[in-house]
Each structure stands twice: as structure tokens, then as C-alpha cells.
């Protein structure tokens, strides 16, 4: 019985140490203990906090019209899979009106969006000309 328990523990430990994230958490808690891990803000408290941030490519489009007075831009854009948007021409509000500086109809742009309640807002624009 003792041998089975020991083998089970060895299997669990080797599985945990096999993945880099688990190894860091197990090592940190084994060496420093729970109290030290709780005091150190840079320690690994749980695996969920180590999840990668979502990184999405910028959307591509062409400027149709610019309305700096109302901080809006009309863009004929390619599909944006992250928001399930098909290729279309849309009027987007812009988070900061300064993003529209220097843009003219016909410019090719790359841009980032965020969902704000029931609308999409452009948070970043790069001129691709």
C-alpha cells in the first residue's frame, strides 16, 4: 500500500514539474512556503494569473470619410473575426479625436477596436500608406 501511494505522489509531482508553469508554482511554494508567496507581489499565486494576454492583429481598412468635429471615421474594412464583423463600410466613433489627425479619404489604415456597450470604438489607428 505504501509503495502505491509513493508511486502516485511521484507521478503527480513529475507531471506538475513537466509543465513550466506548474514547476514554477510548485517550486515557489515548496521553497518559500505559502506565507512568503502571499507576501511577495511578484510570486506565482495561482496558475490562472499566468494566462497569456489576448493579442489580436489590427484590423485593415480604407478611409472613406473623416469627421473630426464629431470624432468619427467611416472605414471600408476587411473582416474582423474577433468581433464577428464581415467586410463592410462602417462609421466608427474614435476614442480620441487626435487619432484622426492627418487622415484623408483613400488612406489605408490598420486599427484596433473595443466593444463599448452596443457599439465599437476605435482605440488605435496606424496609417498604412
Residues 6-37: tens digit of each pLDDT:
566 556 666 655 555 454 544 555 555 554 44
Residues 30-63: tens digit of each pLDDT:
555 554 445 555 555 566 666 666 688 999 999 9
CATH of 59-127, one of 2.40.50.320, 1.10.150.20, 1.20.120.450, 3.50.50.60: 2.40.50.320
76 pLDDT exceeds 80? yes
Please report, for the chain, the start and end positions of each structural domain, with discontinuous segments joined by +: 2-50, 59-127
Return the C-alpha cell found at 119: 457599439
CA atoms within 13 A on the CB side of 64: 12
Strand partners of residue 66: 73
Amino acid at each position: 500500500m505504501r509503495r502505491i501511494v509513493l508511486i502516485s505522489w511521484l507521478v503527480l509531482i513529475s507531471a506538475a514539474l513537466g509543465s513550466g508553469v506548474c514547476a514554477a508554482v510548485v517550486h515557489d511554494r515548496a521553497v518559500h512556503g505559502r506565507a512568503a508567496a502571499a507576501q511577495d507581489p511578484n510570486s506565482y499565486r495561482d496558475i490562472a494569473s499566468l494566462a497569456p494576454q489576448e493579442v489580436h492583429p489590427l484590423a485593415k481598412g480604407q478611409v472613406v470619410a473623416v469627421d473630426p468635429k464629431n470624432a468619427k471615421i467611416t472605414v471600408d474594412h476587411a473582416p474582423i473575426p474577433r468581433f464577428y464583423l464581415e467586410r463592410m463600410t462602417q462609421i466608427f466613433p474614435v476614442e480620441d479625436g487626435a487619432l484622426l489627425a492627418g487622415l484623408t479619404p483613400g488612406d489605408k489604415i490598420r486599427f484596433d477596436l473595443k466593444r463599448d456597450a452596443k457599439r465599437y470604438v476605435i482605440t488605435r489607428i496606424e496609417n498604412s500608406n
